[in-house]
Amino acid sequence: MMMPPTGLETPPVPSARTLATTTVLALAVAIVIVVAVVLPAEYGRDPLGTGRVLGLTRRSAPLPPPVPVARPAGGERMAPVQQGPAGIYPARFKVDATQFVLEPYQFVEYKYHLEKGAAMVYSWKGTAAVIHDFHGEADGTTESPVSYEKKDTDEESGAFTAPFSGIHGWYWENPGGEAITITITSAGFYTSAVEFRPDRTRHPHDLSDPAASQGAPGK
């Protein structure tokens, strides 16, 4: 006499071969994740190149030493005092024009120091599209940079007002096999400019005073 189904039938036990295959596949996936993601993000090792593509190697790099902040003569902070729609500063604005050559898969960061509320205008152009991240780091912080814009492009122009006191600027990376030249010009109420190179060194750039170079008014 047949017993009616109870609905609680025991599922078949996987064979030893199935268990072994599943285990091997899971182990292979785990190894790929470690090599492709964990090593670049946590240890800066990127044997497959996936860390560079995914932007993970930058996270694992130690933060560079704090950038010394240049102050105007007299020690004033270059923060604006609002008088209606006008922001009044204690010193003249600066101008800057510089150029970088990025070899294949190389990157560079270039940042200005601005006080909270200080403004600048900028325009940069590359000879080809680059990986681009416009971001800022607050003074004295050890937290990750705050990204304002992140996209692949070959040029951009804009105006920027610093949301906090710190260094603000760009990360450019060459994603291809040919050298790319980046040219940037800017003007603003910044007090210093620093270049961060792939070897994790930092190099200050000189800034120009347009009023001083042109001489006194009327001459």
pLDDT tens for residues 114-148? 999 999 999 999 999 999 999 999 998 888 899 99
- pLDDT attached to residue 219: 39
Q: What is the pLDDT of residue 217?
A: 46
Backbone CA torsion sign across 35, 37, 42, 47: positive
pLDDT exceeds cutoff 90 at 170:
yes
Whether pTM exceeds 0.75: no
Domains of the chain: 17-57 (no CATH), 90-214 (2.60.120.680)
DSSP letter string, 116-127: TT-EEEEEEEEE
Which residues, in sequence order, are bridge partners of residue 112?
Answer: 168, 193
At 44 the pLDDT is 55
pLDDT over 50 at 39, yes or no: yes
Phi-psi region at 42: left, alpha or beta (left = phi > 0; alpha = psi -120 to 50): alpha
